[in-house]
Amino acid sequence: MIDWHQLAIDSASTIAMVVIATGLIQTGFYIVQLVYAGAALAARPPISRASLLWRRYADHAPPIAVLAPAFNEEVTIVESVNSLLALHYPDFEVIVINDGSKDGTLQRMIDHFGVERVERFYDLSVQHQPIRGLYASPRLPRLLVVDKENGGKSDALNAGINVSRAPLFCSIDADSLLESDALLRAVRPYIEEPTLTVAVGGTIRIANGSKIAAGRVLEVKLPAKFLALVQIVEYLRAFLMARLALSKMQILMVISGAFGLFKRELAVEVGGYSHGTVGEDMELIVKLHRLLRDRKQPYRIEFIPEPVCWTEAPDDLTILGRQRARWQRGALECFFKHKDMLFNPRYGRIGFLGFGQVLIVDVLGPIVEVLGYVLVPLLWAVGLLAVEYLLAFVAITFTFGIFVSVATLILEEVELRRFPRASDLVILTFISVIENFGYRQLSNFWRLRGFWQFLRKQQGWGQMTRKGFQSAS
Amino acid sequence: MSTLYALWLVSLIISLIALAIMVGLIIARWISQRRARAREAERRRLVPLLLGGEANGEQLAEAERAPDLLTDLATELIQMVRGEDKENFVASAERLGVAERLRYRLDHGSPRTRLAAAEALADFADDAISMDRLRRALDDPNADVRLAAALALASVGQAPPARELVEKLGLGTHESSALTVGLFEEVARERPGEIRELIEAPDTHPYVKVAAIDALSASGDYSLVPIIAKLVLAAPDDAEELPRYLDALGDFGHPAAASAVSKVLDSPEWKVRAAAAEAAGKIGMTDAANRLAALLSDSHWWVRFRAGEALALLGETGRWALTEAAEHAPEPARSTAQLTLAERGLA
């Protein structure tokens, strides 16, 4: 006769063990990342002054095309372009791609910079919506404006790739601010390993709360709002720990769309940015891995810990929720599109570790964790689970979470010291603890929403309300 | 104790340890913040004194009690002055023990500190001990430090022979930095023969050969042209270094390279065709105009682009070929020619 009670207990234990094991693998991977990130930071070259970098690299730095897609940026476009033209780099060109803006973005540029229609012979290798015209001025030889029909960010970047002639291109977000020496810092891997390096990402930092003027961050300050603060801790984990470690392991799977430096020739070979996905930045990297692994060609995709780019983080729950759901959808689209690479020996560490990490952290992680939040306390409350299961679940979701966040903050303080005041550290330590109680669960809910949107094949970016950079001063 | 309970305990313990470390770091930061204010005040006091040189000898002698601050400040300021001022400044810094401190850092610091010290010591070229220490740093276990030391020595004309540099830095085998070209350029300023020898020697690694060629391509030493042309003819079609040989020939712009360039204009490799077309334009190979015009319909955009550019550089002959293609050639040669003419204002 079936012992139903025992069967219920066994089933509950199995469910809890799956939840705990998944969380444990995830935590284990984070701890490995912390070790690798620590090693990478300890071994990095000195952070030199911009003048020293210039002296060191000026004669050997390859030309770079900075691609700045713009859609309805009438209000901010002049300041953004001025800030880009003021970058410190020996040989660069700023290509602003007006992606069929419905406002006066193009006219503002024509009026302010005096650009006029020109002819230029450009490549047609990667696909994008038709280019309506190119604009330049002999007065500003570094600036080229591309006016094209609307097609979205990846489409605009593809047009920029086709039009650019530099061996490297730097893709940026319209709403990000670059440090004036960002290109000089980011080009380092291309100088050190010019043949092997195919893509480089840099640290993105949150500018909310900081003092900003004329497109430059003048003084780093913490934001006042909780949501912006909690994202600072998240970005530290994402960039300082995860991306740095994954780069050290040579399994970096994504370079943020806000700042990435790529070899143009290879980006063209993989067809540029993909259309019809919101994870185009991740997909470009995966396509590069695939191409170079298929060819058995040695290569490096690097991440540099130096801050190169500042972004405005959403401090509103609705917008943040949309952003996180979109990121989740992007990761899933990319994962399932390239699922044949998962655990495929042909792709070596990318197939096993890179895709394995995406499977655990992005595909299974949120589902299993939310399942755990519902089932583990419930099963314990009805007496089907021993208290040890509950404690182990709390360990993998809360206490290890605190450890990972605080350990990342320790890395930041020991190696980089980018937060200027001791009080900043007190606040961020506090946030590292309390984010695990409420925000983490909310974040998982947003990711599940992204999962749902992915399953329903929902496209588009959703409404993103841009507030522009707000100076604390 | 069950495994699950142990997991809970471990998570608690390591989280508490992390928090305790963080509290320690916050206290350390608070203390260093207070010290930083004093340090900043001292910096502000020292800058004018250092810039004043010997006249402030007594006051500066006090600063020797804070050797690290003095060293950092002096190396920073040395970069900002030029000419006689710089010489005086370096002499003052040396008297104050800055060079000695940098040598200490080069011997005992972390790789990051050693690298910065090696770079800074280049400003103390007259100090034999510092230069000797830099030469020793060519055997440093860290590759970046070795390269920084080599660049520092080369920048003051004190680099060891080029062959020795190749060996010590592992150029071509362990080191492939683009800065190698700069290193060779510096060496070539004083001893071009050593770099030339690297190009001519059959056993030189292709990477080293290419860097040496790049370093000498702006030298105007036309006797190198036949040597590089020979390398072009000997290289297999898919050799990675072939386009760079052609770039160098283009930079020389000497007609002695024409036959080698002409030979690879139809290479199966698009990078070679593009580099050959570019070189043909720079050399002024008017007799290759028809072949360049044929490349206007190449399957690869870069080849078409370089062919159009090359024709535009060939004066009347090239312009005629472009006009002909713009009017009569099929696509893609037609639009390549039309846009090349329009872009260059030749239409």
Whole-number average pLDDT of chain B: 91
B178/A399 Cβ within 8 A: no
B15/A403 Cβ within 8 A: yes
Residue A214 touches chain B, beta carbons under 8 Å: no
First-to-last alpha carbon distance for chain A, in angstroms, is 75
Q: pLDDT by residue (tens digit) across A322-380?
A: 999 999 999 999 999 999 999 999 999 999 999 999 999 999 999 999 999 999 999 99
B contacts of A385 (beta carbons < 8 Å): none
Three-state secondary structure string covering chain B: CCHHHHHHHHHHHHHHHHHHHHHHHHHHHHHHHHHHHHHHHHHHHHHHHHHHHHHHHHHHHHHCCCHHHHHHHHHHHHCCCCHHHHHHHHHHHHHCCHHHHHHHHHHHCCHHHHHHHHHHHCCCCCCHHHHHHHHHHHHCCCHHHHHHHHHHHHHCCCCCCHHHHHHHHCECCCECCCHHHHHHHHHHHHCHHHHHHHHHCCCCCHHHHHHHHHHHCCCCCCCHHHHHHHHHHHCCCCCCCHHHHHHHHHHHCCHHHHHHHHHHCCCCCHHHHHHHHHHHHHHCCHHHHHHHHHHCCCCCHHHHHHHHHHHHHCHHHHHHHHHHHHHHCCCCHHHHHHHHHHHCCCC
Residue A297 touches chain B, beta carbons under 8 Å: no
Q: Which residue has the higher pLDDT, B95 or A124?
A: A124
For residue A473, what pLDDT is reported?
A: 40
Mean pLDDT of A458-468: 53
B contacts of A426 (beta carbons < 8 Å): 26
Residue A403 touches chain B, beta carbons under 8 Å: yes
Out of A56, A121, A125, the one facing B308 most closely (by C-beta) is A121
Region of residue A117 (phi > 0: left; psi between -120 and 50: alpha; otherwise: beta): beta
Beta bridge partners of A64: A92, A168
Identify the top-confidence range among A6-15, A160-169, A462-471, B79-88. Answer: A160-169
B residues 66-105 closer than 8 Å to A (CB): 76, 79
B308/A399 Cβ within 8 A: no
For residue B282, what pLDDT is reported?
A: 96
Yes or no: say if A341 and A3 are a contact pair by the CB < 8 Å rule. Answer: no
B contacts of A187 (beta carbons < 8 Å): none
Residue B55 has pLDDT above 80, yes or no: no
A120/B343 Cβ within 8 A: yes
Instruction: Return d(Cα A210, Cα A221) in angstroms, integer.
Output: 4
Q: Chain A residue with minimal CA distance to B15?
A: A403
Q: Which of A403, A410, A412, A428 has the highest number of chain B CBs within 10 A, making it the mutation to test binding with B?
A: A403
Instruction: Return d(Cα B295, Cα B272) in angstroms, integer.
Output: 12
pLDDT tier for residue A52 given thresholds of 50, 70 and 90: confident
Residue A394 touches chain B, beta carbons under 8 Å: yes
CB pairs under 8 A between A and B: 130
Mean pLDDT of B147-175: 94
Residue B56 has pLDDT above 80, yes or no: no
For residue A48, what pLDDT is reported?
A: 67
B residues 231-290 closer than 8 Å to A (CB): 240
Out of A52, A392, A429, the one facing B4 most closely (by C-beta) is A392
Out of A193, A395, A409, the one facing B11 most closely (by C-beta) is A395
Residue B217 has pLDDT above 80, yes or no: yes
Mean pLDDT of B204-214: 93
pLDDT tier for residue A460 given thresholds of 50, 70 and 90: low
B contacts of A397 (beta carbons < 8 Å): none
Q: Which of A391, A394, A424 has the highest number of chain B CBs within 10 A, making it the mutation to test binding with B?
A: A391
Give the sign of the dihedral formed by CA A122, CA A125, CA A126, CA A127.
positive
For residue A175, what pLDDT is reported?
A: 74
Å between B187 CA and nearest CA of chain A: 15
Q: Which of A406, A408, A423, A436 has the highest number of chain B CBs within 10 A, making it the mutation to test binding with B?
A: A406
B contacts of A24 (beta carbons < 8 Å): 7
pLDDT tier for residue A255 given thresholds of 50, 70 and 90: very high
For residue B232, what pLDDT is reported?
A: 96
For residue B77, what pLDDT is reported?
A: 84
B contacts of A433 (beta carbons < 8 Å): 19
Q: Chain B residue with minimal CA distance to A41?
A: B112
B176/A388 Cβ within 8 A: no
B342/A399 Cβ within 8 A: no
Å between B58 CA and nearest CA of chain A: 31
Residue B53 has pLDDT above 80, yes or no: no
Whole-number average pLDDT of chain A: 92
B113/A406 Cβ within 8 A: no
pLDDT tier for residue A472 given thresholds of 50, 70 and 90: very low
Out of B14, B23, B112, the one facing A46 most closely (by C-beta) is B112
Residue B36 touches chain A, beta carbons under 8 Å: no
A191/B11 Cβ within 8 A: no
Q: Chain B residue with minimal CA distance to A162?
A: B301
A119/B22 Cβ within 8 A: no
Range of lowest pLDDT (A328-337, B19-28, B210-219, B243-252): B210-219
B residues 191-230 closer than 8 Å to A (CB): none
ipTM of the complex: 0.89
What pTM, to 2 d.p., does this model score? 0.91
Residue A307 has pLDDT above 80, yes or no: no
Q: pLDDT by residue (tens digit) across B306-341?
A: 999 999 999 999 999 999 999 999 999 999 999 999
B182/A20 Cβ within 8 A: no
Residue A162 has pLDDT above 70, yes or no: yes
A residues 168-197 closer than 8 Å to B (CB): 190-196
Å between B340 CA and nearest CA of chain A: 6
For residue B346, what pLDDT is reported?
A: 84
A399/B8 Cβ within 8 A: yes
For residue B1, what pLDDT is reported?
A: 65
Residue B47 touches chain A, beta carbons under 8 Å: no
Out of A55, A120, A121, the one facing B336 most closely (by C-beta) is A121
Question: Cα separations (Å) of B331 from A24, B215, B294, B297?
Answer: 60, 40, 12, 7
A43/B11 Cβ within 8 A: no
B22/A391 Cβ within 8 A: no
Yes or no: say if A45 and A394 are a contact pair by the CB < 8 Å rule. Answer: no
Out of A24, A60, A388, the one facing B178 most closely (by C-beta) is A60
Out of B4, B26, B178, the one facing A388 most closely (by C-beta) is B4
A43/B305 Cβ within 8 A: no
Q: pLDDT by residue (tens digit) across A165-214?
A: 999 999 998 778 999 999 999 999 999 999 999 999 999 999 999 998 87
A contacts of B14 (beta carbons < 8 Å): 400, 403
Residue A30 touches chain B, beta carbons under 8 Å: no
